[in-house]
Structure 1
Amino acid sequence: MAQIRIEDLRKSFDQFTAVEGSSFTIDDGTFFALLGPSGCGKTTTLRMIAGLELPTEGKILLDGEDVTFHRAAARDIAFVFQLFALYPHMNVGQNIGFPLKCQGMARHEIRERVQETARMLRIEHLLSSKTSKLSGGDRQRVALGRAMVRRPKAFLMDEPLGALDAEFRHLMCGELRDLHDRIKATTVYVTHDQLEAMSMADRIAIMNKGRVEQIGTPQEVYDRPASM
């Protein structure tokens, strides 16, 4: 996995500055949450880390390599969206294995890797199912599986539980954290939900109006908030 370092990151859209002077380091294997209200710049920051947006200023280093202006495909990062973006004409196994098929991996290797990933996510029994028949929680597991299967350096998640109901969200919070602990991944997780961030993250960056106002453990930001 990898350390992610952000140095003086800034992003402007015409006259609007979405992210202003962000600097922080996400250590290898850390579950790091970007927490803040809608429009605070957290998703823009995540998209810049992913290579889906290019910064106006600043640097992004992945495992010590400057990837600031590398396109997304060259960054070895997996992105999990709020809307699962599964392929409806493929079954669960085909969805999970699709990134490996695109890489030209041999069929038997794809099959082994898909089985291993499905076992980790407890969805082995669903591999031949159509994605349209699945519950929201199972669709989210498939989306996670598709991200995990190619073993990227880091996972970036943009409000991945936002489309689930409250009961499923609570369940998936625990499962996501358990999964993180098992695969020791570097994970960057965007949310506006304080409970999600507090229950899952090792460290939290509080964002407001494009700026990072505080970074610390859940206990630190709860006990000693740096701003209102």
Structure 2
Amino acid sequence: MAEIRVEKLHKAFGEFIAVRESDFTVADGEFFVMLGPSGCGKTTTLRMIAGLELPTSGRILLGGEDVTFNRAAARDIAFVFQLFALYPHMNVRQNIGFPLKCEGMPRAEIRARVEETARFLRIDHLLSQPTSRLAGGDRQRVALGRAIVRRPKAFLMDEPLGTLDTEFRDLMVRELRELHMRIAATTVYVTHDQLEAMSMA
């Protein structure tokens, strides 16, 4: 895992300034929450760290390396979205293993890593299930599994619990906290929910 450093990060869309001279450091292994209302620049900042959006000016350093203009694929960062973005035609095993398959990892290693990740998230009994049949909490675990299985340098989470009902959200807040304590992954978490931010960070 790695430290994330953001220096004077600025993003303008024409006349509109989405992010203004932002400076912060997320220490190696830290869980860092960005809290604010819709439209304040949280997601834009996250997308710039991920490499999905290029800044107008400023720098982004990952583990001391300047990655400001690197493509997303070259940053070794996993992104978990609010909408789970699972592949409906694949089962749980195939969804979790998909990033490793794209990397050309051998089949036996993919199988072992997927099973280890599924056990870790307590969804190993669901590996053969189609994702379309899963409850919201389980679908979110599959989305997390697909991020974790890669063992990236950092995790970026954009309102990952936003679509869940209150009961599931409370459960997933606890589970995400536990998960972070177990893997000590550098994590940047975006939310507009003050209670969620306080619980997580």
- TM-score in same-fold range (> 0.5): yes
CA apart distance, 1:200: 0.9
Q: Deviations over 1:51-86 (max 9, x none)?
A: 000000100000000000001000000000000000
Question: Hey, what's the Cα distance between the residues in 2 that align with 1:90 and 1:46?
Answer: 28
Q: How does 1:150-189 map to 2 (within 5 A)?
A: 150-189=150-189
**Equivalence for 2:30:** 30
The equivalences for 1:78-93 within 5 A come to 78-93=78-93
How far, CA to CA, are the matches of 1:177 and 1:50 in structure 2? 22
Aligned AA (1:28): D
Q: 2: distance between equivalents of 1:187 and 1:196?
A: 15
Match of 2:20 in 1: 20
TM-superposed CA distance for 1:189, in Å, is 0.2
C-alpha root-mean-square deviation of aligned residues, in Å? 0.4
2:10 aligned partner = 10
Give the distance between the partners of 2:114 and 2:24, measured in 1 at CA. 34
Paired AA for residue 60 in structure 2: I
State the match for 1:117 in structure 2. 117
Give 5+ residue unaligned stretches, structure 1.
202-228
The separation in 1 between residues aligned to 2:183 and 2:137, in whole angstroms, is 20
Gaps of 5+ in 2: none
SS at match of 1:83: coil
Residue 121 of structure 1: how far off its partner (Å): 0.3
1:196 and 1:106 map into 2 onto residues whose CA distance is 39
Shift of 1:12: 0.2
* Alpha-carbon distance in structure 2 between the residues aligned to 1:9 and 1:121: 35
Q: Runs of at least 4 residues of structure 1 off by over 4 A?
A: none
Distance 1:86 1:105 in 2: 20
TM-score by length of 2: 0.99
**Superposition pairs of residues 122-161 of structure 1, within 5 angstroms:** 122-161=122-161
| Deviation readout 1:99-137 (Å, 9 max, x if unpaired) | 000000011000000000001100000000000000000
Hey, what's the Cα distance between the residues in 2 that align with 1:46 and 1:34?
9
TM-score, with length taken from structure 1? 0.88
Number of paired residues? 201
**For the residues of structure 1 that align with 2:172 and 2:158, how far apart are their CA atoms?**
14
Give, in whole Å, the separation in 1 of the partners of 2:121 and 2:79.
Answer: 17
Within 5 Å, which residues of 2 pair with 1:36-115? Answer: 36-115=36-115
Distance 2:148 2:195 in 1: 25
